[in-house]
Structure 1
Amino acid sequence: MLTPATITLLVALGAVILFVTEWLTVDLIAMLIIVTLVATGVVSPTEGLDGFSNGATLTVAFMFVLSAALLKTGALQLVAGGMAERFRTRPRYATLLLMLLVAVISAFINNTPVVAVFIPIVGRIAASAKINPAKLLIPLSYASILGGMCTLIGTSTNILVSGIAESNGLPGFSVFTLAPIGIALLVVGVIYLTYFGQRLLPDREAEESLAEQFALHDYLAEIVILDNQTLAGVRIMDSPIVREMDMDIIEIRRDNDRFTLPPGDFRLLAGDTLKVRCDREKIKNLKDWVKLVDHSGSVQVMGTGLERDNSSLVEMVVTPNSEFVGKTLRQVDFRRSYRAVPLAIRHREETLNEQLYELPLLAGDVILAEVKSHYLTELQKIEQRQDSPFILLSSDALGDFNRNRFYFVLATIIGLVTLATTGILPISIAALMGVCMLVLGRTLSMQEAYEAIDWRIVFLLAGALSLGKAMSNSGLDEDIAGILTGTVAGWGPFALIAALYLTTNLLTELMSNNATAALLAPVAIAAAAQLGIDPQPLLVTVAIAASASFMTPVGYQTNAMVYGAGRYKFLDFTRVGTPLNLICWGLTSLLVPLLFGL
């Protein structure tokens, strides 16, 4: 019979495999963790579900709302939008300024929406200043990560580690417990990225058009349905054009009427003229049973000016909390919901032009779609929603700056930080008070507040806390701590911090930073108990190392977001991020023992 420690270890290993392979979404993995641990008796039902009511989970949820309120004021867009001129005149100085701006903002609100706001802005700045956006997007992501390390509320990982400490009867972090280490890493990291990292970033020549970037070879063609053709009376979804030829019907002309992006249940009639997008091979196959007129006008021509026949090409980046993640375009009813025709998908390092409706999407994937110009405004409105599933790289819809709303939100955030820092209220209650103030002040509606919360992260935190509890209940944390302390025995506190940091950091490059923190925080507490030392320095190390994911595009949400947008290769992150990881490892190993008295 398996022992509780063995069961917990198997669950943890299974979770690591699922996180790395991305076979399932993170929230589903978290639910499976809870169900498995409760079903096997490692944790009780109450302990399994305690993560949903844990102060750390609730604080993270409330901080999503506060972040959304600040973004809604338009302040970030206004500040960032005014930086283009600086990039034209002093690009290195402007890059430094951009990173510091993003880092400071990310220290106090969730960094994922911050990066989401800045990605299209950086794209426009790069185009205006004639800079390759690949030179800016990785620094943008890394700066947001470094900024999040500086405070308790900068990232959900810090809040989670603090919550695990409190659930074990230990004092949690104050708002600025991490600041001495975080600020030091931020300063050194920004200097590295500005003067050395820039040389390691790719400097590939930009293609002339979106069509060339996505290697499009499609053609616009017209199909005229004749009286004797089997297409007459058939629904679009049942027609050979869609089912067998995998073509996209852009428009149907019937007498004097035009039907743009018709739905799948639309019935074709004799005399209809269908405008379709397909390749030459499919055009040849069609000639046996329809009268075909090949206009021989390719998407490449349209892409040069981004418009033709009243249409536009748009790039849509899938966000980490998107409903698209793990689903296909067919499952989200992409054409009907967004009135857009997908032409290609940049999926990790691949550019796909076929079977687009069958590909499960990942965060950071870029969808190239064609949309009628009068529907582009509707897409921009969707992008402005708190729960938008995508970012438009070419979007100009920055929103209006509301000065009064900005000051109110800023005062609310300063107030909650003050209340939490002085110990008047726990951070969870202070954050909840902030949410109440924003709703009562009509800065956000309750519906917008609910939409602002990334429920995947909430479920992930609940599952992570359940796994952490299982490690404590089963004694697995003590077993791993014994191995860790035995390995560095006699080498002093610097070696202990270095070993703990390295273990945490290597794991966080492969899977969720929150899951990594949940695994290693109990180990840090157990190691401190075995050595008879204060656990806080070890917990600080876990929090910093779990967030410092620079070597891969999959270890942190913001890295995944810029992966497709910057057209990076996997090794670009490894080349730029590895030196930064080593810098953070060495600096943390040196500073934690000195600053926390180990």
Structure 2
Amino acid sequence: MGIDAFLTLAVIVIAVGLFISEKLPSDVVALLVLASVLVLQLVTPAEAVSGFSSPATITVAAMFVLSSGLSASGVVHAMGRMIARIRKPLPMTILVMTLVGVLSAFINNTAAVAVFLPVVLATTAANRIPASQLLIPMSYAAQMAGVCTLVGTSTNLLVNSLARNLGHPGFGLFEFSKLGLIMLGAGFVYMLLVQRWLLPHSHSSDPDENEHLGKYITELRVPSTSPLTGQSVTAAKLGERYGVYVLELLRNDIAVAQPRAETIEGGDVLIVRGDWSRISALIDKNRLQTAPDFQPIGIGDGSGNERPVMAEVMIAPGSSLVGQTLVSPECHWHYRSAILAIHRRGDVLRSKLRDVRLRVGDVLLLRAPGNELPSLRRNPALLVLSAREHRVFMPRQALLTIAIMATVMTVAALGWLPLVASAILGCIALVATRCIDNNAAYESIDWRVIMLLAGVIPLGIAMQKSGLAQFIAVHLLGFVGDFGPLAVLAAVYLLTAVLTELMSNNATAVLITPIAYSTALAMGLSPTPFLIAVLFAASTSFATPIGYQTNTMVYNAGNYRFTDFMKVGIPLNLLFWALAVYFIPRFFPF
């Protein structure tokens, strides 16, 4: 192994560590990878920026726009309203998984889950059905359906593009659909069988309370007229009386050393945790002020559309708000809303709201004017959970959008145009027919995903040029090669699946695709079955809530524990592994 291979391996080790630790956003890590392989001269400048012109990157961007067109027309939301008519858990689960599955085969699966999530939360709360019984099945259905077509996930397109760069002819739009449908069917049956026993049965709160997500963290200022002044936190017995617990006591923005023993003074700020109904009772009875740093510019006079409403909003995957604080310029959207509290799954915050850096899945409790809700719903950085979407169904726009989507898929499937060309023309048609405007088209693209794809593609080139992929392939064969191609296929799938649970699925695909390709060539076999194994394993992450964006979204909304995903997801991963090892060689012979 030469010096270039050692340098490439060093870049990979550091990148994997950064991806797993999440100390930096994944798109930033990808751009660091790009810069590293360029500075170390492992790739040429043209190869370093080739990811930005890759058909995979451009097609993914185009699919974001096409997906947005369906949502803007009201088609997706009309489908979502079908769920509200169901009253029983089993039929509701089947319908949710079916609708999300159908959409996720052709549009971005994160967008599909984002649309259905508020509807499922509202419907389950209204019918006293635990949301936790439906949200994991919905997330898994989105992933399982994504491997039914080439455009189902960005990972599919990435593996296809990498394979073409390595000399493989690539895959057609529906080339692995039969295998995908088998996996999807098995996954459906599995989820329906284990739903009752392995998924938690915790009920969401009463729908009128806007408390789907458990305990909030907020800050309360104590005015000098409050009955709490002159008492210590312990003597006030807030936990016993209200079920609200003081985490910190701030005086002049400095945390006191022993908050429970400290006497409360006028002007002190209490960082507290509890259900919002209990916090609200504490505020009313003790004349406290909520989140004083985030009072709105104006909520109106309480009449007409200006009547204040409570809303829960989640920080969406790919949001520009991730890593920002609520006082950052990027958070200007809340200037007419009062931010009351924040909920972060699995973490107890002890700082003021203005100092909290937002993460994907954080939920903010807002009090906003009624006429601000449409603006919040249109904001791609946010996902409104506590109110149902009220999008108008526009028949003409819907029919045009569906026709354009169908034409894009048909032209690509028949081979009349490459998929990237067909998708670009579809985007142009959406804008030209005014199904979506220019600004909405640009805003619909998740640029973090685009940067991630463009940044990691040069790493695959460096692995191939440096000989590292071939070196790893030879040693992989040394471990399992004697057991035959089926054992090697099983090892490739398992390695990809494990890495996908720990870090970005697209980064995993870039790492494993060259290795899988080189392994097949070293054995004198067709690379196709090994590439299919990488594609399926990297696109389905069931065992952790951090392995895939849809899992992260439902993790918070369903009030799940980390172990809930492990209990349901690990057996499903093993089932997919067994099915893949059995069926891949039958559809794609060695």
TM-score of the pair, normalised by structure 1? 0.84
1:137 pairs with 2:117: no
Once residues 134 and 278 of structure 2 are traced to their aligned partners in structure 1, the CA distance between those partners, rounded to angstroms, is 32
Which residue of the partner structure matches residue 119 of structure 1?
A: 117
Does the 8 A contact of 1:84 with 1:129 survive in 2?
no
- The amino acid of 1:318's aligned partner reads I
- CA distance 1:474–1:132, shift in 2 (3 Å): same
Does the 8 A contact of 1:335 with 1:341 survive in 2?
no
Does the 8 A contact of 1:380 with 1:395 survive in 2?
no
Deviations, residues 99-125 of structure 1 (Å, cap 9, x unaligned): 011111100011111111111011111
1:9-48 correspondence to structure 2 within 5 Å: 9-48=9-48
Corresponding residue to 2:481 among 479, 483, 489: 489
Once residues 396 and 48 of structure 1 are traced to their aligned partners in structure 2, the CA distance between those partners, rounded to angstroms, is 45
Once residues 166 and 543 of structure 1 are traced to their aligned partners in structure 2, the CA distance between those partners, rounded to angstroms, is 14
Does the 8 A contact of 1:220 with 1:298 survive in 2?
no
- CA distance 1:114–1:336, shift in 2 (3 Å): closer
Which residue of the partner structure matches residue 252 of structure 2?
A: 244
Deviations, residues 485-512 of structure 1 (Å, cap 9, x unaligned): 2222232332121110000000000111
Deviations, residues 58-110 of structure 1 (Å, cap 9, x unaligned): 00000000000011111111122122232x1x321221121011111100011
Once residues 140 and 223 of structure 1 are traced to their aligned partners in structure 2, the CA distance between those partners, rounded to angstroms, is 50
Once residues 441 and 97 of structure 1 are traced to their aligned partners in structure 2, the CA distance between those partners, rounded to angstroms, is 32
1:96 pairs with 2:90: no
Which residue of the partner structure matches residue 272 of structure 1?
A: none
- The amino acid of 2:55's aligned partner reads G
Once residues 433 and 281 of structure 1 are traced to their aligned partners in structure 2, the CA distance between those partners, rounded to angstroms, is 67
Does the 8 A contact of 2:218 with 2:353 survive in 1?
no
Runs of 5+ unmatched residues, structure 1: 225-240, 248-278, 289-296
Which residue of the partner structure matches residue 289 of structure 2?
A: none
Does the 8 A contact of 2:223 with 2:266 survive in 1?
no
Which residue of the partner structure matches residue 275 of structure 1?
A: none
Once residues 325 and 20 of structure 1 are traced to their aligned partners in structure 2, the CA distance between those partners, rounded to angstroms, is 17
3-state SS in 1 of match to 2:130: coil
1:418, distance to aligned residue in structure 2 (A): 1.2
1:395, distance to aligned residue in structure 2 (A): 2.1
- CA distance 1:411–1:487, shift in 2 (3 Å): same
1:325 pairs with 2:322: yes
Which residue of the partner structure matches residue 251 of structure 1?
A: none
Does the 8 A contact of 2:2 with 2:466 survive in 1?
no
Does the 8 A contact of 1:344 with 1:353 survive in 2?
no
Once residues 15 and 334 of structure 1 are traced to their aligned partners in structure 2, the CA distance between those partners, rounded to angstroms, is 30
Deviations, residues 124-178 of structure 1 (Å, cap 9, x unaligned): 1111221111111111111000011100000000000000011122211100122
Does the 8 A contact of 2:545 with 2:562 survive in 1?
yes
Corresponding residue to 2:372 among 372, 375, 378: 378
Once residues 377 and 350 of structure 2 are traced to their aligned partners in structure 1, the CA distance between those partners, rounded to angstroms, is 24
Once residues 160 and 222 of structure 1 are traced to their aligned partners in structure 2, the CA distance between those partners, rounded to angstroms, is 57
- The amino acid of 1:443's aligned partner reads C
Which residue of the partner structure matches residue 391 of structure 2?
A: 399
3-state SS in 2 of match to 1:574: helix
Once residues 163 and 202 of structure 1 are traced to their aligned partners in structure 2, the CA distance between those partners, rounded to angstroms, is 40
1:16-415 correspondence to structure 2 within 5 Å: 16-86=16-86, 88=87, 90-207=88-205, 209=209, 213-215=214-216, 244-245=252-253, 284-286=264-266, 299-301=279-281, 311-332=308-329, 334=331, 337-352=334-349, 354-367=351-364, 369-372=365-368, 374=369, 376-385=370-379, 388-415=380-407
3-state SS in 2 of match to 1:286: coil
Deviations, residues 366-413 of structure 1 (Å, cap 9, x unaligned): 22x2324x2x4314323224xx21111012333011111111111111
Which residue of the partner structure matches residue 564 of structure 2?
A: 572
Once residues 22 and 338 of structure 2 are traced to their aligned partners in structure 1, the CA distance between those partners, rounded to angstroms, is 26
3-state SS in 2 of match to 1:490: helix
Which residue of the partner structure matches residue 234 of structure 1?
A: none
Does the 8 A contact of 1:152 with 1:176 survive in 2?
yes
3-state SS in 2 of match to 1:314: strand
Deviations, residues 220-255 of structure 1 (Å, cap 9, x unaligned): 76569xxxxxxxxxxxxxxxx9992489xxxxxxxx
1:316, distance to aligned residue in structure 2 (A): 1.4
Does the 8 A contact of 1:218 with 1:299 survive in 2?
no
Which residue of the partner structure matches residue 556 of structure 1?
A: 548
Which residue of the partner structure matches residue 466 of structure 1?
A: 458
Which residue of the partner structure matches residue 294 of structure 2?
A: none
Once residues 18 and 421 of structure 1 are traced to their aligned partners in structure 2, the CA distance between those partners, rounded to angstroms, is 38
Does the 8 A contact of 1:493 with 1:593 survive in 2?
no
1:280, distance to aligned residue in structure 2 (A): 10
Which residue of the partner structure matches residue 416 of structure 1?
A: 408
Does the 8 A contact of 1:74 with 1:398 survive in 2?
no
Does the 8 A contact of 1:217 with 1:298 survive in 2?
no
- CA distance 1:534–1:311, shift in 2 (3 Å): same
- CA distance 1:83–1:336, shift in 2 (3 Å): closer
3-state SS in 2 of match to 1:177: coil
- CA distance 1:47–1:335, shift in 2 (3 Å): closer
1:314, distance to aligned residue in structure 2 (A): 2.3
- CA distance 1:332–1:395, shift in 2 (3 Å): farther
Deviations, residues 280-327 of structure 1 (Å, cap 9, x unaligned): 999932279xxxxxxxx96333999xx9x9654322111111111122
1:39, distance to aligned residue in structure 2 (A): 0.2
3-state SS in 2 of match to 1:345: strand
- The amino acid of 1:326's aligned partner reads G
Once residues 413 and 334 of structure 1 are traced to their aligned partners in structure 2, the CA distance between those partners, rounded to angstroms, is 34
Once residues 267 and 116 of structure 2 are traced to their aligned partners in structure 1, the CA distance between those partners, rounded to angstroms, is 48
- CA distance 1:217–1:526, shift in 2 (3 Å): closer
Once residues 326 and 445 of structure 2 are traced to their aligned partners in structure 1, the CA distance between those partners, rounded to angstroms, is 24
Once residues 135 and 287 of structure 1 are traced to their aligned partners in structure 2, the CA distance between those partners, rounded to angstroms, is 44
1:424, distance to aligned residue in structure 2 (A): 0.9
1:458, distance to aligned residue in structure 2 (A): 0.6
Once residues 303 and 79 of structure 1 are traced to their aligned partners in structure 2, the CA distance between those partners, rounded to angstroms, is 41
1:343, distance to aligned residue in structure 2 (A): 3.6
1:464, distance to aligned residue in structure 2 (A): 1.6
- The amino acid of 1:96's aligned partner reads I
Corresponding residue to 2:438 among 434, 446, 454: 446
3-state SS in 2 of match to 1:213: coil
Which residue of the partner structure matches residue 493 of structure 2?
A: 501
Once residues 547 and 119 of structure 1 are traced to their aligned partners in structure 2, the CA distance between those partners, rounded to angstroms, is 21
Once residues 357 and 14 of structure 1 are traced to their aligned partners in structure 2, the CA distance between those partners, rounded to angstroms, is 32
Query: Paired residues, what number?
Result: 534
Does the 8 A contact of 1:327 with 1:361 survive in 2?
yes
1:333, distance to aligned residue in structure 2 (A): 6.1
3-state SS in 2 of match to 1:153: coil
- The amino acid of 1:97's aligned partner reads L
Task: Name whichever of 199-208 and 507-516 sits farther off.
Answer: 199-208
1:545 pairs with 2:537: yes
Deviations, residues 500-556 of structure 1 (Å, cap 9, x unaligned): 000000000011111100111111111111011111111111000001100011111
Question: What is the percentage of aligned positions where both structures have the same residue?
Answer: 39
1:477 pairs with 2:478: no
Does the 8 A contact of 2:131 with 2:203 survive in 1?
no
Does the 8 A contact of 1:27 with 1:456 survive in 2?
yes
Corresponding residue to 1:426 among 390, 414, 418: 418
Once residues 406 and 5 of structure 1 are traced to their aligned partners in structure 2, the CA distance between those partners, rounded to angstroms, is 52
Once residues 426 and 441 of structure 1 are traced to their aligned partners in structure 2, the CA distance between those partners, rounded to angstroms, is 23
